[in-house]
């Protein structure tokens, strides 16, 4: 299904995707040379930790354990012969380092040979002549001078790609027209293949197209954030993964044509800014089956991630979504076309599928709207109107850092949103934990708890619902206690301005878990504080509020369970927010 | 020559987890959305199989909504070898994530196809030559049965299967795609207890039908275009055009 959907996307996009055999690659360092092969400099293209992406360069080869060089662009081991650095405390350091040196030499040779094996008419180009001179003829002024360059130190540590550029030119050597023509020629030859070592002539039924054709032995790499650059989506890199005596990708027959299409589509989606966003360590890509749903495609990432270039986009898109759902725009556009969401996660040299969602655009739109509705809660006017996933999840993490979020939680929350299911229980648990640790109920945390309870109740057909703002008629034990606690805190703050530690800091944990132990003392304290009021009117208001809440409380329970603790937090938050309301009808 | 008819049986199977692994995502396992005919056949064969019969799956009905779960498990990266001392997990640990199905329930329908004695494959005698007594050799290796044998009929095998399935007997515990996901089964009469499949209709793309074992040296997969119609997948016949071999 996944590969099939990608293949269909490639067919739909057609020319917008880079041509067969080409790709857009990020290249971090360029070796600038003169026509005679002497070195000008080693320049770095890095800006904001990312190198410049060069368009339409010959596709790099899929590598296994044996060295194989790509044409005119590759990593430091191939281009400059820089060996892998073995850690010095490794037991076999000397032997391993020696081996690494030898391997680097072999790789470098292969790289140079790849260039030397180009057809004669390409070899005549002055750029190619310069490159060969750099490595061979003019080696002392060329290749040997590299270590003297400014960026040499950082280049040695990099895992990125390097390439060559001729002094005075704007485009790099792999972008030469004759190189492109050559690449087209060998790509065409590969799909027909008579004697290409990569396919060994095996024919079979392709599991994407269902046609009988030549099967590819290796699938190209798909590079996602935090994965190894050579990790393919479909790969069999250990013996224990093989079956029926088949080797490598013959375990899953995909025709050469289909493989090129789907990897192209996959890499395009991963590379594009509009069709992907990052969820912690994972990469989420999404696309629509038909062109008409393009507008939804463009909106999609705004619901989940912050667009750093355009922070207002988040709010704007959600508003558009609400409007569209109300007017029924999505039902009209497409009742038949699908929308796909794929979440990929890196896993030691491979890529694993975290989740895969398909559905109609209308379905997704409704569910996302439901998600935002659930998260709506009373808030200060300066706070953001709609919360994105990062804000929600970082509220459950230590120091609000995304790396401290529970690993599976990010994917699970996203899945709950897309499927319309209750949020994971971990979300509620982590949220309560954070509240207890910091003794602070922020808007995000209150929203999370409210959303969790409402969705859970809806799923189980329980009629109880937590409201957006203060609900004076709610009789839930936890809610009332939370409200009471908030009023007590307010009284203390009114009468003792400038306190360092309020009752919240001291008593929140105990009050929300074992109310009977602390509320007696809190009421006593409260009476003292009430006596300190100078403004009699305000005192009466507060007393009225306390009276109203106490009316509905029968007794102080010994223990509140997790749901009741959530209600406590929400009640506390609602009551506090109500103190900021303009007193219209008081 | 009597004419024999194949009887269609229905089993309801359910389990906590299932993984009908897609061939292309075999390493980081991703399951198909529904049961493959290959897995369904394995369940029938777990209950009852003899060289005299063959199971042909005709229909798969999905009774529970399709739910997913993502798990990461510790596995090994090396292949076991009888000459080695065994595999030590600390040296060969591979963590593999998987996207599996949760809380599955299916009804699988299959024909019990009776193979007349003449057409049966000669089961190879695995005893080495020096252990086979020459007197017994003819008994063990020659085929004694011919097509007119009075006891060779489908009724016998149908009864055997029904008895076993009703009692819950099986040669090994049936499983849903991977051995670790055990399945529970029950023989059903669809007329007495009609099923209520889920209301989903979609095109599932090409799905693995089964492996083609006709050439033991080169075992190949066969695919077919699976369409879920109101929770039911009709499986085409193995020899039909729809099955791409």
**In chain A, what residues touch B34 (CB-CB under 8 Å)?**
none
Cβ pairs bridging A and B (under 8 Å): 98
Question: Nearest-CA neighbor of A343 among B94, B30, B24, B23?
Answer: B30
Answer for the pair A367, A418: CB distance below 8 angstroms, yes or no.
yes
Q: How close, in Å, is residue B185 to chain A by CA atoms?
A: 28
Q: How close, in Å, is residue B14 to chain A by CA atoms?
A: 22
CA angle A147, A149, A152 (to 5 degrees): 65
Answer for the pair A204, A324: CB distance below 8 angstroms, yes or no.
no
Q: What is the pLDDT along chain A (586 residues), one digit of tens a residue?
A: 788 888 888 888 776 676 666 777 778 888 888 888 788 888 888 777 777 777 777 777 766 567 777 888 888 788 887 777 766 777 777 888 888 888 888 888 888 888 888 888 877 888 888 888 888 877 777 777 777 777 877 777 777 788 888 888 888 888 888 888 888 777 766 655 433 455 456 777 788 887 888 777 777 777 777 666 667 777 777 777 777 777 777 777 888 888 888 888 888 888 777 777 877 778 888 888 777 666 677 777 777 766 555 556 666 777 777 777 666 666 655 556 788 888 888 877 778 888 888 888 778 888 888 888 888 888 888 887 888 888 888 889 888 887 788 777 888 888 888 888 899 999 999 999 999 998 889 999 999 999 999 999 998 888 888 888 888 888 888 999 999 999 999 899 888 888 888 888 889 988 988 999 899 999 998 998 888 888 888 889 889 989 999 998 888 899 999 999 999 999 999 999 888 875 544 4
Q: What are residue B71's phi and psi, to 5 degrees?
A: -130, 150
Contact at CB, A355 and B68, closer than 8 angstroms: yes
**In chain A, what residues touch B22 (CB-CB under 8 Å)?**
252
Question: Please, which pLDDT band fits residue B143 given cuts at 50, 70 and 90?
Answer: low
Q: What pLDDT does residue A196 have?
A: 46
Is B66's Cβ below 8 Å from some Cβ in A? no
- Rounded-to-integer distance, Cα A1 and Cα A356, Å: 9
Among A239, A348, A353, beta carbon nearest to B25: A353
Q: How close, in Å, is residue A269 to chain B by CA atoms?
A: 19
Question: Please, which pLDDT band fits residue B168 given cuts at 50, 70 and 90?
Answer: very high
ipTM of the complex: 0.74
Among B24, B70, B225, beta carbon nearest to A355: B70
Q: Identify the burial level of B32 via C-beta atoms within 10 angstroms of its C-beta, where 0-12 means exposed, 13-18 middle and 19 or more buried.
A: buried
- Residue B144: how many CB atoms within 10 A of its CB? 8
Q: What are residue A132's phi and psi, to 5 degrees?
A: -65, -40
Residue B28 vs residues A22, A65, A91, A207, A348: alpha-carbon distances, Å? 28, 20, 32, 18, 11
- Rounded-to-integer distance, Cα A415 and Cα B56, Å: 37
Q: Which chain B residue has its CA at the smallest distance from A355's CA?
A: B99
- Rounded-to-integer distance, Cα A220 and Cα A256, Å: 11
Contact at CB, B77 and A345, closer than 8 angstroms: no
Contact at CB, A237 and B204, closer than 8 angstroms: no
Q: Which residues pair with B94 in a beta bridge?
A: B75
**In chain B, what residues touch A236 (CB-CB under 8 Å)?**
26-27
Q: What pLDDT does residue A334 have?
A: 58
For residue B178 the two structure tokens come to: 């991977």
Question: Nearest-CA neighbor of A560 among A485, A476, A451, A458?
Answer: A476
**In chain B, what residues touch A411 (CB-CB under 8 Å)?**
70
**In chain A, what residues touch B98 (CB-CB under 8 Å)?**
352
Question: Nearest-CA neighbor of A568 among A464, A443, A482?
Answer: A482
Is B76's Cβ below 8 Å from some Cβ in A? yes
Contact at CB, B206 and A243, closer than 8 angstroms: no
Is B243's Cβ below 8 Å from some Cβ in A? no
Q: Which chain A residue has its CA at the smallest distance from B81's CA?
A: A240
Contact at CB, B24 and A244, closer than 8 angstroms: no
Q: What pLDDT does residue B123 have?
A: 64
Among A208, A251, A347, beta carbon nearest to B95: A347
Q: What pLDDT does residue A115 have?
A: 82
- Residue A568: how many CB atoms within 10 A of its CB? 31
Q: Is A41 helix (H, G, I), strand (E, B) or coil?
A: strand
Q: What pLDDT does residue A585 have?
A: 42
**In chain B, what residues touch A254 (CB-CB under 8 Å)?**
24
Scanning B75-152, the segments in alpha helix (DSSP H) are 89-92, 134-141
Residue A143 vs residues A47, A80, A132, B135: alpha-carbon distances, Å? 26, 8, 10, 81
- Rounded-to-integer distance, Cα A359 and Cα A289, Å: 10
Say if pTM beats, i.e. exceeds, 0.90: no
Question: Please, which pLDDT band fits residue B145 given cuts at 50, 70 and 90?
Answer: low
Q: Given its phi and psi angles, is residue A318 left (phi above 0), alpha (psi -120 to 50 degrees) or beta?
A: alpha
Find how far residue A264's CA is from the centre of its chain. Answer: 20
- Segment A241-257, tens digit of pLDDT: 777 777 777 777 888 88
Can you tell me the mean pLDDT for B30-45?
Answer: 93
Question: Please, which pLDDT band fits residue B140 given cuts at 50, 70 and 90?
Answer: low
Q: How close, in Å, is residue A350 to chain B by CA atoms?
A: 8
Classify residue B3 by its DSSP letter: -
**In chain A, what residues touch B221 (CB-CB under 8 Å)?**
204-205, 207, 253
- Rounded-to-integer distance, Cα A61 and Cα A68, Å: 7
> DSSP strand E in chain B: where?
7-18, 53-62, 67-76, 93-114, 184-188, 202-212, 220-228, 232-234
Q: Which chain A residue has its CA at the smallest distance from B219's CA?
A: A244
Q: Identify the burial level of A20 via C-beta atoms within 10 angstroms of its C-beta, where 0-12 means exposed, 13-18 middle and 19 or more buried.
A: middle
Mutate to test the interface with A, among B22, B24, B203 (most CBs of A within 10 A): B24
Q: How close, in Å, is residue A236 to chain B by CA atoms?
A: 6
Torsion from C-alpha of A536, A537, A538, A539, nearest 10 degrees: 50
**In chain B, what residues touch A207 (CB-CB under 8 Å)?**
23-24, 206, 208, 221, 223
Question: Nearest-CA neighbor of B22 among A253, A376, A99?
Answer: A253
Contact at CB, A408 and B205, closer than 8 angstroms: no
- Segment B105-135, tens digit of pLDDT: 999 999 999 888 877 776 666 667 777 777 7
Contact at CB, B27 and A204, closer than 8 angstroms: no
Which region among A318-332, A525-539, B17-31, B70-84 has the lowest average model confidence (pLDDT)? A318-332
Q: How close, in Å, is residue A196 to chain B by CA atoms?
A: 21
- Residue A130: how many CB atoms within 10 A of its CB? 23
Among B24, B94, B245, beta carbon nearest to A205: B245
- Residue B211: how many CB atoms within 10 A of its CB? 14
Q: Is A73 helix (H, G, I), strand (E, B) or coil?
A: strand
Q: What pLDDT does residue B63 have?
A: 94
Contact at CB, B70 and A251, closer than 8 angstroms: no
Q: How close, in Å, is residue B222 to chain A by CA atoms?
A: 7
- Rounded-to-integer distance, Cα B90 and Cα B97, Å: 18
For residue B181 the two structure tokens come to: 């996901």
**A186-191, Cβ contacts within 8 angstroms, sequence gap of 24 or more:** A186/A21, A187/A20, A187/A21, A187/A59, A190/A21, A190/A256, A191/A20, A191/A256, A191/A257, A191/A260
Contact at CB, A2 and B97, closer than 8 angstroms: no
Among B24, B77, B220, beta carbon nearest to A238: B77
Is B71's Cβ below 8 Å from some Cβ in A? no
Q: What pLDDT does residue A434 have?
A: 92
Answer for the pair A116, A105: CB distance below 8 angstroms, yes or no.
no
Find how far residue A434's CA is from the centre of its chain. Answer: 24
CA angle B138, B143, B149 (to 5 degrees): 130
Answer for the pair A35, A165: CB distance below 8 angstroms, yes or no.
no
- Segment B178-208, tens digit of pLDDT: 999 999 999 999 888 888 888 888 888 888 8
- Rounded-to-integer distance, Cα A44 and Cα A24, Å: 18
Classify residue A380 by its DSSP letter: -
For residue B25 the two structure tokens come to: 């995502």
Does B158 score more than 90 pLDDT? yes
């Amino acid at each position: 299904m996944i590969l099939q959907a990608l293949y269909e996307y490639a067919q739909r996009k057609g020319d917008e995707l880079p041509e067969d055999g080409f790709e857009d690659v990020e290249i971090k360092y360029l070796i600038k040379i003169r026509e005679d092969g002497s070195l000008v400099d080693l320049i770095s293209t890095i800006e904001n930790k990312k190198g410049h992406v060069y368009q339409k360069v010959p596709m790099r080869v899929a590598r296994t354990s044996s060295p194989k060089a790509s044409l005119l662009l590759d990593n430091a081991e191939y281009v400059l012969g820089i060996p892998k650095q073995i850690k010095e405390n490794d037991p076999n350091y000397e032997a391993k380092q020696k081996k690494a040196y030898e391997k680097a030499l072999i790789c470098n040779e292969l790289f140079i040979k790849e260039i030397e094996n180009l057809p004669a008419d390409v070899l005549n180009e002055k750029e190619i002549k310069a490159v060969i001179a750099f490595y061979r003829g003019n080696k002392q002024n060329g290749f040997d001078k590299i270590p003297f360059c400014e960026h040499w130190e950082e280049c040695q540590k990099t895992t990125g790609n390097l390439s060559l550029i001729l002094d005075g030119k704007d485009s790099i050597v792999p972008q030469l027209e004759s190189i492109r023509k050559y690449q087209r020629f060998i790509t065409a030859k590969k799909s027909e293949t008579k004697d290409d070592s990569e396919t060994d002539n095996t024919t079979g039924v392709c599991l994407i197209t269902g046609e009988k054709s030549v099967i590819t032995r290796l699938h190209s790499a798909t590079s996602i954030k935090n994965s190894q650059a050579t990790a393919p989506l479909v790969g069999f890199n250990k013996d224990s993964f093989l079956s029926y005596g088949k080797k490598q990708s013959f375990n899953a027959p995909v025709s050469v044509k289909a493989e090129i299409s789907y990897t192209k589509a996959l890499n395009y989606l991963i590379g594009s800014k509009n069709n992907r966003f990052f969820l912690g360590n994972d990469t989420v890509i999404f696309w629509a089956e038909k062109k008409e749903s393009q507008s939804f495609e463009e909106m999609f990432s705004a619901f989940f991630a912050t667009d750093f270039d355009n922070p207002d986009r988040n709010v704007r898109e959600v508003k558009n979504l609400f409007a569209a759902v109300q007017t029924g725009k999505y039902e009209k556009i497409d009742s038949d076309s699908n929308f796909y969401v794929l979440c990929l996660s890196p896993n030691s040299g491979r890529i694993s599928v975290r989740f895969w969602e398909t559905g109609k655009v209308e379905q997704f739109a409704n569910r996302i709207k439901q998600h935002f509705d659930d998260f709506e809660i009373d808030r200060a006017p300066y706070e953001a109107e709609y919360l994105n996933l990062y804000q929600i999840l970082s509220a459950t993490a230590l120091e609000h850092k995304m790396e401290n979020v529970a690993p599976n939680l990010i994917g699970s929350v996203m899945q709950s949103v897309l499927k319309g299911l209750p949020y994971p229980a971990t979300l509620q648990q982590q949220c309560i934990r954070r509240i207890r640790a910091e003794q602070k109920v922020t808007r995000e945390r209150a929203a999370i708890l409210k959303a969790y309870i409402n969705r859970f109740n809806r799923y189980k057909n329980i009629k109880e619902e937590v409201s957006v703002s203060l609900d004076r008629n709610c009789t839930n034990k936890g809610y009332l206690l939370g409200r009471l606690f908030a009023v007590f805190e307010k009284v203390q703050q009114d009468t003792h301005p400038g306190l360092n530690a309020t009752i919240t800091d001291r008593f929140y944990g105990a009050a929300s878990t074992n109310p009977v132990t602390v509320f007696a003392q809190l009421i006593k304290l409260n009476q003292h504080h009430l006596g300190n009021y100078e403004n009699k009117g305000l005192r009466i208001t507060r007393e009225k509020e306390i009276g109203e809440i106490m009316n509905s409380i029968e007794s102080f329970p010994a223990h509140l369970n997790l749901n009741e603790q959530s209600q406590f937090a929400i009640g506390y938050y609602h009551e506090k927010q109500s103190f900021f309301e303009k007193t219209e009808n008081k | 020559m009597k004419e024999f008819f194949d009887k269609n049986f229905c089993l309801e199977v359910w389990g906590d987890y299932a993984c009908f692994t897609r061939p292309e995502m075999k390493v980081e396992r991703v399951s198909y959305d529904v049961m493959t005919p290959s897995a369904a056949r394995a369940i029938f064969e777990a209950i009852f199989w003899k060289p005299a019969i063959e199971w042909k799956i005709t229909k798969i009905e999905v009774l529970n909504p399709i739910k997913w779960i993502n798990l990461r498990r510790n596995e090994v990266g090396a292949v076991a070898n009888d000459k080695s001392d065994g595999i030590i997990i600390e040296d060969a640990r591979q963590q593999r994530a998987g996207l599996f199905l949760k809380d599955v329930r299916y009804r699988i329908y299959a024909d019990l196809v009776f193979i007349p004695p003449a057409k049966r494959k000669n089961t190879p005698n695995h005893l080495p030559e020096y252990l086979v007594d020459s007197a017994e050799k003819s008994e063990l290796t020659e085929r004694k049965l011919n097509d007119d044998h009075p006891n060779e009929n489908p009724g016998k095998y149908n009864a055997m299967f029904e008895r076993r399935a009703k009692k819950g007997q099986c040669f090994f515990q049936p499983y849903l795609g991977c051995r670790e996901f055990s399945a529970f089964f029950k023989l059903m009469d669809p007329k007495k207890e009609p099923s209520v499949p889920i209301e989903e209709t979609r095109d599932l793309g090409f799905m693995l039908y089964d492996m083609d074992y006709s050439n033991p040296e080169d075992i190949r997969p066969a695919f077919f275009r699976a369409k879920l119609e109101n929770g039911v997948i009709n499986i085409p016949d193995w020899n039909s055009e729809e099955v791409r071999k």
